[in-house]
Chains A and B, each alone.
Chain A
Amino acid sequence: MTGSTPDWLIRLRQNAGLASAIALFAAFYLVYNMAHPKGFSPQVFVQNADEAFALVMVAMAQTLPVLLGGLDLSVGAVMTMVNCLASHLVVGSPLQIFFGMTACIAAGAAFGFMNGCIVVYGRIQPIITTLATGAIAIGIALFLRPKPGGKVDEDLSWALTNGLGDFAETYHLFDDGKAAWFQPIAGIPVAFVLLILVVLIIWVPFRRTVIGRTVYAVGSAEGAAFMSGLPVNQAKLAAFTLAGVFAAIGGLFLAIQTSSGNADIPQANSYTLNSIAAVVLGGTSLLGGSGSAIGSLFGALILRVISFNFRIFDIPPLMQSLVEGLILLAAVSLGGLRVLRIKNRLELFR
């Protein structure tokens, strides 16, 4: 166990969940592209990135409460709420658009912070807190958008849901995107770049703060975290707030992508449930303490790529749910193999 094992192997073992999620995604995506008539082309890549972005964000949002050892049933609803809010605010002059987008993310953060306050100071379990606040978020969404509609700046919508080349053309950057050096990356989807930026600017630094580490410590052994004098309450507040931010980014993108707001309740619920599946697929333990938002990112991509494959292989809609369930169950079972090594059966219940 100690000494001789090389560092890379240790890191691989500790991230086995993430590694297998990446492998699974890569395999499914390869199959999809090979079967697709326009496989491996920028158009397909752009379309896939746009379709996956919102779910990836919601899955990353779900990761934080799960790391604490809880569940957040409001992530899909917060996404929907911000989607409706954005359909009012993200129009007008560039400055108005900027403040509108800021307000959208602030609304998500505030909502997450409220969830955190109820959990920390009200001492109510996350699952029931967020069940209630999720209904509230849907209520607000319906109030903002009783019927689907609204408007989002068209240039923004076009620029963010296509390739980098289109983005540059819309905003007249790099000779309208025609600069020679720019050509090799012009086909990369903007959504993909945004995704990487979110990971690098929000998740990676957060993981390396004391608060971020405390989130893991609380999920791993809350008593020991408290006894070590760690900021347990601040970590919980931060986790829920950050969950709100991620969900809001998802909602904002959804509004930009669809150019409208829609208080779609079934959609909100399916995003919430899929986010839990994505978190588990990405190797995060539902008991808390281990895993990462990057894992959830790949978990969400797996869910999306499964439905892409349904499309390409013409799986009858009646079969899709069944097949998806079986794939999920098989993938999640791999994580359960650890149980076989436990020698004291009492530990199974601890």
Chain B
Amino acid sequence: MTDRDAQPLLSLSKISKRYGGVRALEDVDFSCSAGSIHAILGENGAGKSTLIKIMSGVVQPDTGSMTLTGTPRRFLSPAEANAAGVVCVFQELSLMPDLSVADNISIVGPPTRLGLIDAKAQRRRAEELLASIGCEDVNPLLNVRDLPLSRRQMVEIAKALGKKPQLLILDEATSALTNSDVATIYEVLKRLRREGLSILYISHRMHEIEELADRASVFRNGRHIETFPMGRYGHGEIVELMIGREISAQYPPKVKRERPAPLFEVKKLTWENRLRAVDLSIGKGEIVGLGGLDGQGQKELLLALFGVLKGVTGEVTLDGKPALPGSPAEAKAPSRRIALIPEDRKTEGLMLPMSIAENLCSASLDALSTGPFIDRTKEEVAITDAIKRLQIKIGSPGDAVATLSGGNQQKVVIAKWLMTNPRVILLNDPTRGIDVGTKQEIYALLRQLADKGAAILFYSTDYDELIGCCDRVAVMYDGAIKVELEGDGITEQALIASALNIDAGAAARSGHGVHG
């Protein structure tokens, strides 16, 4: 069971890729063979996405080379990779919402008659491809916009199969599927393996990988750690391979103390089918982490608590009084004072062309105004305070906020919300893509805010942060909180095991994971 003697279908050698100062892949050698389902494992940010983006021509590597069936290749665009038989089903969908299912499936190279697109042939093609993955119920006439997410994902898979791939890459392609779809996809993938395709399968669901894959590769911090046939290692060992790194960031010390009385309580919060009866409570001065894999409802929970989502049911209380806001404006009103540091600072956090000063004041203009007019003096005092408090490095407050570095932009977003003097602070992955120094300052700031009495709910995709910063961590899976870890029980093993929703005891012999 060592490496197959046959020539690998695709192999990468010494591939490296950096984004700005961030190392995404370093010196990676990797290969995959025909007739195999090959799982790729790793934590968030381990370099899996960059790897498949390089294979499918979305980004080009800085260094290194790639060979396909023995010939050196370099894909400058996804279209080139597709033409060579490398097809990727991305996590972010590539479908055009206003076009029909049939149009989307045959978007490249549709069947034509007399030079014009043959709508009937195109529809038959769509029907055949959809039938091959058990999706006869999707009418190819429908616009993609009108399909539920799970069906869209199946259309995406049908579209990929229509390109007749030799190497099919599935990036979390099953994350939104229903159980019966997943079962069909398993059968399809196994059939394709028998037909000699090479399939790269990226998933965070350990059960799926065990069921499907014959080989697995573990990535960590942009490096390829090990490739092994499935069955060589147990769950626990695989999780250890995925972690295996020293904790690098510095965190402020946590104070051991009694759990404070709840200040902010959430009961049976439900929205569409993305949040399923979430129960959570945060005490005064407490930092509660939100863990779990991407897309398990963490973002929706934060948005719901900030009044962005319509049709939320359940109970939210602040200091015992009902506090579920109907809009962000209500959320930040003096009676609630809830703040949300949003996910994407470029679209939801900042008005990039406006000045640093204007951005800082944008959430607290009501407090800085006299009548209908903004009070210049108050504004200046507040701005100077905020800049000093967060040590934002700026030229002048009048500069456009777009001119700042990512870390300083993020500080502006945080400062903007601290100016509203919030009692509840919701953070949506606030340290993504910023430098270590700023991260440390943010950690210290969060602890300081908690000590002054704020209740903090902190979603992070970085397990280190959750361990280092939080008094408790609520781990979400499939729209609900499955496990709450507390104190010394917040370990990497326990976090990963509960994020994958597998038995904590099997994964972490020393973990203290508690089933909720």
For A13, what are the chain B residues with a Cβ–Cβ distance below 8 Å?
A: 146
Partner of A7, one of B82, B139, B271, B348: B139
**What separation, in Å, do the CA atoms of A210 and B95 have in the docked complex?**
16
Check A95 for interface membership: any CB of B closer than 8 A: no
Contact with B along A225-240 (1 / 0, CB 8 A): 1011110000000000
Partner of A216, one of B78, B96, B116: B96
For B99, what are the chain A residues with a Cβ–Cβ distance below 8 Å?
A: 213, 216-217, 220, 289
Which residue on chain A has the smallest CB distance to residue B101?
Answer: A2
Verify A228–B139 contact, CB threshold 8 A: no
Verify A224–B119 contact, CB threshold 8 A: no
For chain A, the bracket of interface size reads 20 to 34
Verify B110–A221 contact, CB threshold 8 A: no
Known: A213-B107, A344-B310. A205 touches B139 (CB 8 A): no
**What separation, in Å, do the CA atoms of A93 and B146 have in the docked complex?**
56
For A1, what are the chain B residues with a Cβ–Cβ distance below 8 Å?
A: 142, 146-148, 151
Which residue on chain B has the smallest CB distance to residue A287?
Answer: B98
Verify A209–B303 contact, CB threshold 8 A: no
Partner of B95, one of A224, A229, A289, A342: A224
Contact with B along A319-350 (1 / 0, CB 8 A): 00000000000000000000000111110000
**What separation, in Å, do the CA atoms of A219 and B117 have in the docked complex?**
19
For A11, what are the chain B residues with a Cβ–Cβ distance below 8 Å?
A: 141
For A210, what are the chain B residues with a Cβ–Cβ distance below 8 Å?
A: 110, 117
**What separation, in Å, do the CA atoms of A1 and B152 have in the docked complex?**
12
Q: Which of B84-117 contact A (CB under 8 A)?
A: 93-100, 103, 107-108, 110, 115-117
Q: Which of A1-52 contact B (CB under 8 A)?
A: 1-3, 5, 7, 10-11, 13-14
**What separation, in Å, do the CA atoms of A248 and B108 have in the docked complex?**
32
Verify B107–A220 contact, CB threshold 8 A: no
For B151, what are the chain A residues with a Cβ–Cβ distance below 8 Å?
A: 1-2
Verify A289–B82 contact, CB threshold 8 A: no
The winner among A3, A285, A342 for most chain B CB atoms within 10 A is A3
Check A290 for interface membership: any CB of B closer than 8 A: yes
Check A208 for interface membership: any CB of B closer than 8 A: yes
**What separation, in Å, do the CA atoms of A14 and B110 have in the docked complex?**
21
**What separation, in Å, do the CA atoms of A11 and B98 have in the docked complex?**
13
Verify A346–B139 contact, CB threshold 8 A: no
**What separation, in Å, do the CA atoms of A10 and B141 have in the docked complex?**
7
Check B433 for interface membership: any CB of A closer than 8 A: no
Verify A2–B147 contact, CB threshold 8 A: yes
Q: How close is B129's CB to chain A, nearest CB, in angstroms?
A: 16
Verify A220–B97 contact, CB threshold 8 A: yes
Which residue on chain B has the smallest CB distance to residue A285?
Answer: B98
Q: How close is B399's CB to chain A, nearest CB, in angstroms?
A: 25
Check B309 for interface membership: any CB of A closer than 8 A: yes
**What separation, in Å, do the CA atoms of A219 and B311 have in the docked complex?**
30
Q: How close is B362's CB to chain A, nearest CB, in angstroms?
A: 15
Partner of A2, one of B98, B100, B138, B309: B138
Number of B residues with CB within 8 Å of any CB on chain A: 40
Partner of B139, one of A3, A208, A225: A3
Verify B139–A2 contact, CB threshold 8 A: yes
Known: A11-B141, A342-B310. A225 touches B96 (CB 8 A): yes
For A5, what are the chain B residues with a Cβ–Cβ distance below 8 Å?
A: 139
Partner of B303, one of A3, A217, A225, A344: A344
For B103, what are the chain A residues with a Cβ–Cβ distance below 8 Å?
A: 213
**What separation, in Å, do the CA atoms of A1 and B138 have in the docked complex?**
9
Known: A2-B147, A216-B98. A228 touches B108 (CB 8 A): yes
Verify B308–A3 contact, CB threshold 8 A: no
**What separation, in Å, do the CA atoms of A220 and B99 have in the docked complex?**
8
For B93, what are the chain A residues with a Cβ–Cβ distance below 8 Å?
A: 224
Contact with A along B324-342 (1 / 0, CB 8 A): 0001000000000000000
For B192, what are the chain A residues with a Cβ–Cβ distance below 8 Å?
A: none
Check B258 for interface membership: any CB of A closer than 8 A: no
Check B132 for interface membership: any CB of A closer than 8 A: no
Q: How close is A217's CB to chain B, nearest CB, in angstroms?
A: 5
For A216, what are the chain B residues with a Cβ–Cβ distance below 8 Å?
A: 96, 98-99
Q: Which of B426-449 contact A (CB under 8 A)?
A: none
For B82, what are the chain A residues with a Cβ–Cβ distance below 8 Å?
A: 229
Q: How close is B327's CB to chain A, nearest CB, in angstroms?
A: 8
Partner of B107, one of A3, A208, A228, A342: A228
Check B79 for interface membership: any CB of A closer than 8 A: yes
Which residue on chain B has the smallest CB distance to residue A229?
Answer: B79
Verify B310–A213 contact, CB threshold 8 A: no
Q: How close is A10's CB to chain B, nearest CB, in angstroms?
A: 5
Check B143 for interface membership: any CB of A closer than 8 A: yes
Check B137 for interface membership: any CB of A closer than 8 A: yes
**What separation, in Å, do the CA atoms of A91 and B141 have in the docked complex?**
49
For B327, what are the chain A residues with a Cβ–Cβ distance below 8 Å?
A: 345
Verify B139–A227 contact, CB threshold 8 A: no
**What separation, in Å, do the CA atoms of A224 and B107 have in the docked complex?**
11
For B58, what are the chain A residues with a Cβ–Cβ distance below 8 Å?
A: 227
Known: A208-B119, A224-B95. A345 touches B310 (CB 8 A): yes
Check B272 for interface membership: any CB of A closer than 8 A: yes
Check B391 for interface membership: any CB of A closer than 8 A: no
Which residue on chain B has the smallest CB distance to residue A67?
Answer: B98
Check B77 for interface membership: any CB of A closer than 8 A: yes
Q: Which of B319-366 contact A (CB under 8 A)?
A: 327, 348
Verify B311–A343 contact, CB threshold 8 A: yes
Known: A205-B116, A229-B79, A229-B82. A217 touches B309 (CB 8 A): no
Which residue on chain A has the smallest CB distance to residue B142?
Answer: A10
Verify A343–B117 contact, CB threshold 8 A: no
Q: Which of A163-207 contact B (CB under 8 A)?
A: 205
For A219, what are the chain B residues with a Cβ–Cβ distance below 8 Å?
A: 98
For B139, what are the chain A residues with a Cβ–Cβ distance below 8 Å?
A: 2-3, 5, 7, 10
**What separation, in Å, do the CA atoms of A213 and B112 have in the docked complex?**
13
Verify A224–B303 contact, CB threshold 8 A: no
Verify A289–B98 contact, CB threshold 8 A: yes
For B110, what are the chain A residues with a Cβ–Cβ distance below 8 Å?
A: 210, 213
**What separation, in Å, do the CA atoms of A220 and B145 have in the docked complex?**
10
Verify A2–B272 contact, CB threshold 8 A: no
**What separation, in Å, do the CA atoms of A217 and B106 have in the docked complex?**
12
**What separation, in Å, do the CA atoms of A208 and B103 have in the docked complex?**
11
Q: How close is A225's CB to chain B, nearest CB, in angstroms?
A: 7
Known: A2-B138, A2-B142, A210-B110. A344 touches B308 (CB 8 A): yes
Verify A345–B308 contact, CB threshold 8 A: yes
For B108, what are the chain A residues with a Cβ–Cβ distance below 8 Å?
A: 228-230
**What separation, in Å, do the CA atoms of A140 and B146 have in the docked complex?**
47
Q: Which of B357-388 contact A (CB under 8 A)?
A: none
Contact with B along A118-146 (1 / 0, CB 8 A): 00000000000000000000000000000
For the complex with contacts A11-B141, A14-B100, 14 further pairs of A-B residues with Cβ separation under 8 Å are A2-B139, A2-B151, A7-B139, A205-B116, A209-B117, A210-B117, A221-B97, A224-B95, A230-B108, A285-B98, A344-B310, A345-B309, A346-B303, A346-B308
28 A–B pairs (Cβ distance < 8 Å), ordered by A: A1-B147, A1-B151, A2-B142, A7-B141, A13-B146, A14-B100, A14-B141, A209-B115, A213-B117, A216-B96, A216-B98, A219-B98, A221-B96, A221-B97, A224-B93, A224-B95, A225-B96, A228-B78, A229-B79, A229-B108, A230-B107, A289-B97, A343-B309, A344-B309, A344-B310, A345-B308, A345-B310, A346-B308
User: Chain A: residues with CB nearer than 8 A to chain B?
Assistant: 1-3, 5, 7, 10-11, 13-14, 205, 208-210, 213, 216-217, 219-221, 224-225, 227-230, 285, 289-290, 342-346
- What are the nearest 7 A-B pairs in CB distance? A229-B79, A289-B98, A220-B98, A3-B137, A208-B116, A220-B96, A290-B98
